[in-house]
Structure 1
């Protein structure tokens, strides 16, 4: 899939003229101030799960709900406040939730509200880990059940810079609920191309996660494995993603939708004994209706 993305990027950049003078290139691209924006996509997709012994996550319905006022905004259960909005940039205070917990729980918000969810709920015990292919034969197997990985909300500041070559976003956030007291930094670039009824959105993203974040979700407690709780001590790391979303407008309310994403996990995450893949990928094919 990674090679397919590379080919698509080369093609995209080769045919894309300097058409990104405005973030909103066609009707429906931006949300009107003071109005609710509600849409739902129906179709089929899949999100691979890099966790050992965990199923991939199916995608059937993807809702989206947002409201933007003069300063305050609500976007898929994230809240924010615009500090300043200029012609070329915007600075917000905003909440967010990360995608690490989504690998453990089917109904995590990151599996439901996708911009672009196997069958146990959050109150049940997680399945036993079993032995891992990453372990050496001399190392004791991990047999105990995983403890819960709790949901948390991040809060921080985000900057959007608008230019002819796309939109640059830089965001820094900290755990607000003291679940792990970690931090994340996101840097992304998005380029949009509108051709008649077609809309193409290409996004490149790199995400830094502090050691507290990685250790909380991918490290092991002593109750899970006395050996690995001492052996695996991750540092901070960077994960890199690429995403391509294609929309074809059928009417003012209906779009056909094709979205795909590939994430190369940070080396520090890959080293975890509960990880058996070095990436996660997802795709979705369907139709979206805007109310």
Structure 2
């Protein structure tokens, strides 16, 4: 119940802050980014990305880079490489690729971390509860290394006034976990006075192959036998707020909530959610 309340709180805050003011095309050059030129900014402040896995360390966020380049069709945006197929507003189609972000819980220097700013009655026991009874919780240090995987696929964005509706589908093209993931997202670009606010709400679908590779257990890793994890729907919510101090400097506040409660079959989780929070200064070079 506490996890549901946490998610709904972030969700409600996102909705309450949606005052119409301006629109920006997703995966199009954002404010302060000049097409054909590299954009570089540095966020300095205090923040943390929580790690929900047993034995996983929370990642402190002190210095966070923001690197982007948008050409006529090719673009790079904080670890995401893409090619624009259609750029006619309100419809945007892109080919995209990125390292799968699930690895961020197993390694410190993953791009998702570097650029951190997806019942039964009392007489019966559910399958997930049986798995947890039979499988002791495992520390991630006891596991085999989870390899980095490269995902690629298509993204589509529909822009309506200040709203951006997005759909994307990405599959493993590196042969690491041989699965896929997809997402639906709504985002709004707002201004309240000088305050720029960008709330996002979405949900990830992740295949059983993806979940089993990253959060399942192999027979080699546990004497109690392997654990396979099914497919999942995982909601998330984000708020990104900026207050301009001058042309090159902003105050920035960012918070994100990722729900992992659908993966309760896995004995790896200590918490069923991950939170990212940051407050500080953003300087554009």
TM over 0.5: yes
Name 1:92's counterpart in structure 2: 94
| Alpha-carbon separation, structure 2, partners of 1:284 and 1:106 | 17
Name 1:272's counterpart in structure 2: 266
Q: State the SS of the aligned residue for 1:212.
A: helix
Q: State the SS of the aligned residue for 2:271.
A: coil
Q: State the SS of the aligned residue for 1:224.
A: coil
Q: After superposition, where does 1:16-165 map in structure 2 within 5 Å?
A: 16-17=19-20, 19-20=21-22, 23=25, 29=31, 31-115=33-117, 135-136=132-133, 145-164=142-161
Q: After superposition, where does 1:147-226 map in structure 2 within 5 Å?
A: 147-164=144-161, 166-226=163-223
Deviations 1:97-148 (A, max 9, x none): 2321111111111111124xxxxxxxxxxxxxxxxxx832x65675882100
Deviations 1:13-67 (A, max 9, x none): 4xx14x345549xx96263211111111011111111101222111111101111
Tell me the matched-pair count.
264
Alignment gaps of 5+ in structure 2: 1-5, 118-130
User: What is the alpha-carbon root mean square deviation over aligned residues?
Assistant: 2.2
Structure 1 residue 283 corresponds to structure 2 residue 280: no
Q: State the SS of the aligned residue for 1:34.
A: coil
2:207–2:231 contact (8 Å) kept in structure 1: yes
Distance 1:53 1:161, change over 3 A: same
| Alpha-carbon separation, structure 1, partners of 2:114 and 2:59 | 10
| Alpha-carbon separation, structure 2, partners of 1:39 and 1:167 | 24
Name 2:123's counterpart in structure 1: none
Alignment gaps of 5+ in structure 1: 116-133
Structure 1 residue 11 corresponds to structure 2 residue 13: no
The runs of at least 4 consecutive aligned structure 1 residues that moved more than 3 Å come to: 1-4, 20-24, 138-144
TM-score (norm 2): 0.86
Greater relative contact order: 1 or 2 (C-alpha under 8 angstroms, separation 6 or more)?
Answer: 2
Deviation at 1:218, TM superposition (A): 0.4
Q: State the SS of the aligned residue for 1:135.
A: helix
TM-score (norm 1): 0.84
